[in-house]
Amino acid sequence: MSFPLAIKRQKYESGDTKNQLCVYPLTSISYNEKINDMIIAGASTAPYLTVDDLQILPTDKLNNWIPILIVVGLEDAIFSFGAQKLDNEIDYLQYLGKHECILQIKEYSLKTVDYLVGIILKYSTMIFSITLDTGLYYTNLDARKEVSEWQLFQTIKHIIISKLEKNEKFLQNIHVFLNITKEVEEVDFSSWSMEMVRYIRLPSPPFSSDVSNLLINLHQIKSLQHPYFVLDDNDNLKFYQRSITELLQNAPLVITELAYDSQVKLAKVPSLDSILLNSKFVLQNPLEPTIKNLSNNTYSVFEEDSVKYIQYERAIMMALIDIQKEYTSKNSSHHFQVVIVGPGRGPLIDKFFNAVEHLSIPLNTFTIHAIERNAAVMPYLELKNNLKWKGKVVLYCQDIRNWEPPYTTIEINGDINNKRTNASAINYSRWPSSPIIDSKATFYGFDLVFSELIGSFGCNELMPEVLHPIVNFSRSKCRFVPQKVESYASPVYCPWLWNISLSDDPTCYVPIIPQYKQLCEPELMWSWDYQNLNKAKSWFLDRSLLMKRKFGESEITHNGVIHGIAGYFKSTLYPGIIVHNLPSMANKGKSKVSVSWLPFFMSLPKTSSFEVSSGDLINWGVERQWNDEGVWYEWSVKNPKNGNDGLVNVNGCNSLFKLY
């Protein structure tokens, strides 16, 4: 089945073309040819998407685009390949913030339908439209007879319903793209009258000569909710124009051809304040970048935090000055190894290049590594690397905890026991390795490591666990940015947030609108000293040190009711350069709060909330627990009147930050 390259949607009123909707394939012809070649060759692992594979660049206008995904490789012998390919593409769409796509399915089988059930459950916020041609008879899924496209859809629905069992609500996520490829009188439109048809592709003239008959039949499906009529081009629209006006008054929208403009850039991201105030969900789950990919919009919001990135650039600049001084004093030339852990869309890489340019340091004295787990953001990074970073960044799509330097010989700090041959040095993932690496050279360790994996509570995005392997590949005098992260907490009064939280078991949240009052000054709970990791390697030798605990007594400074505990952080990126989300520091004029880090909120159950007065002494605290599955926090506030001090979230029963 062929599709128009791009199409435009409009309510059919004379000359009204305000609402545009492009329907366009996600991947390029060359990518689809490459996939076919890999299937023929029996490949078992599908590649991640690169910039060259995409029809739509990460910087193009995306708001009004409905992507087409070509479904291949779901046959028994190569099922894992086809499933990986489609998962990669859907993950990329979700990163872009897309919640609808058209699946162009080449061949229907029981395996295909099983996979449809899987993606409906896995991608529960996505709407999928599957293609069905009226001009074909399909082999029934039991392979015994040929059936019409409508009969095939009934079989698919029946299988999906039986497999979803108690999750029937997800059936509403599967729709039909109905391609009319035979004469109108042969199409049983009445059969489709109550089905979930989302798109109807009208035949091009002169294939369908009886326009009035077509339109009369299409009236039978007016009960459907806003099906979109797909027309190949403007000539086709003119052909139907006189007869179609009346039909379009009954709700369907017209789709006509629109030339795709690759130069149109993304609309400006709205301000952080407007995003927060318009959010439907006040209490959000904390981010878990170790297991969940962030979306394009989430990255965009974080990148608006100018305070954070100004401070990071200053810290990187000071670190580079100190590194240079060290080797200048030794009168030795040195090639510097730099790594950015979790670069996202690359704002920290931008700041590194700004610092290098400001200090007039030649770029050829650096090898710059960027290690990102989120495959969906890689095409964006690749594009920036080509256009902005002069191809100087070595990109890896991999979990940092499974990463090793792509050199055949690794020798850290002159330790002969740490010198080894790396047999699989070149390619550690499905992301192409960079040609700028001399894999035969000896890797002597990183000189500079920087990351923004700081959570609202300091360590809730698992930076201590994530940076674990980097220590093994760092020089003894390696600089870390941040150098130190401290976690703070305070009991808070927040009736509005607490009332919202009562609908669930007490757990950890990030309030989008942090409406609360601190009942005492935030206490330092614990800290993480990254700069001294190479000296002590403390928590990597003794994993029990990943667990932290502080309970004690505090004096209440304001009257109120304790509804929970708010968590904060303060990070020393480099000596004298601070980022934080502590309101008390901002109120005293010490520094600006980084707005992309909202506070952390640990709610109390209804039975544990109690009233306090200024001058009261209360016992409270938080502990950080760790095991091979993940990290969790347990907290309590002791009521002095009844002695109730039960721990909340024992063993991570309500909130667990998974390691993998």
Look at residues 475, 504, 523 and tell me which one is the last residue of a structural domain: 475
Domain extent, residue 454, equals: 296-475
Pairwise CA distance, residues 365 & 367, whole Å: 7
pTM value surpassing 0.85: no
Residues 433 and 537 in one domain: no
Q: For residue 556, how many other CB atoms are within 10 A of its CB?
A: 17
Model pLDDT for residues 540-558, shown as the tens digit of each residue: 556 677 889 999 999 999 9
Q: What is the mean pLDDT of residues 519-545?
A: 76
Label residue 103 exposed, middle or buried (CB < 10 Å: 0-12, 13-18, 19+).
Answer: buried
Residues 153 and 42 in one domain: yes
Residues 318 and 465 in one domain: yes
Angstrom CA distances, 81 to 74, 297, 398, 540, stand at: 8, 29, 19, 37
Is residue 187 over pLDDT 90? no
In a domain, 470, yes or no: yes
At residue 443, the 3 state secondary structure works out as strand
Structural domain count of the chain: 3
Residues 308 and 402 in one domain: yes
In a domain, 504, yes or no: yes
Percentage, residues of the chain above pLDDT 90: 34
Pairwise CA distance, residues 567 & 581, whole Å: 9
Residues 524 and 551 in one domain: yes
Residues 430 and 512 in one domain: no
What CATH number did the domain enclosing 499 receive? 2.70.160.11
Model pLDDT for residues 67-97, shown as the tens digit of each residue: 889 888 777 777 888 889 999 999 999 888 8
What CATH number did the domain enclosing 434 receive? 3.40.50.150
Residues 632 and 516 in one domain: yes
Predicted local distance difference test score (pLDDT) of residue 286: 92
In a domain, 408, yes or no: yes
User: 522, 488 in Cβ contact below 8 A?
Assistant: yes
Is residue 238 over pLDDT 80? no
Instruction: For the chain, give the mean pLDDT.
Output: 78
Look at residues 262, 279, 310 and tell me which one is the last residue of a structural domain: 262
Residues 423 and 503 in one domain: no
The candidate with the shortest Cα–Cα distance to 570, out of 633, 461, 511, 487, is: 487
What CATH number did the domain enclosing 183 receive? 3.20.20
Confidence of residue 267 (pLDDT cuts 50, 70, 90): very low
Pairwise CA distance, residues 214 & 207, whole Å: 12
More confident residue, 232 or 409: 409
Chain position carrying tokens 């000189």: 447
What is the distance of C-alpha 501 from the center of its chain? 25
Residues 449 and 501 in one domain: no
In a domain, 417, yes or no: yes
Residues 128 and 237 in one domain: yes
Pairwise CA distance, residues 401 & 392, whole Å: 23
Q: Which range has highest mean pLDDT (227-241, 437-451, 481-495, 513-527)?
A: 481-495
In a domain, 375, yes or no: yes
Q: What is the mean pLDDT of residues 406-426?
A: 59
Look at residues 245, 262, 279 and tell me which one is the last residue of a structural domain: 262
CA contacts within 13 A on the Cβ side of 465 = 26
**Which has the minimum average pLDDT: 431-435, 462-466, 559-563, 605-609?**
431-435
Residues 55 and 182 in one domain: yes
In a domain, 625, yes or no: yes
User: 444, 337 in Cβ contact below 8 A?
Assistant: yes
Residues 470 and 513 in one domain: no
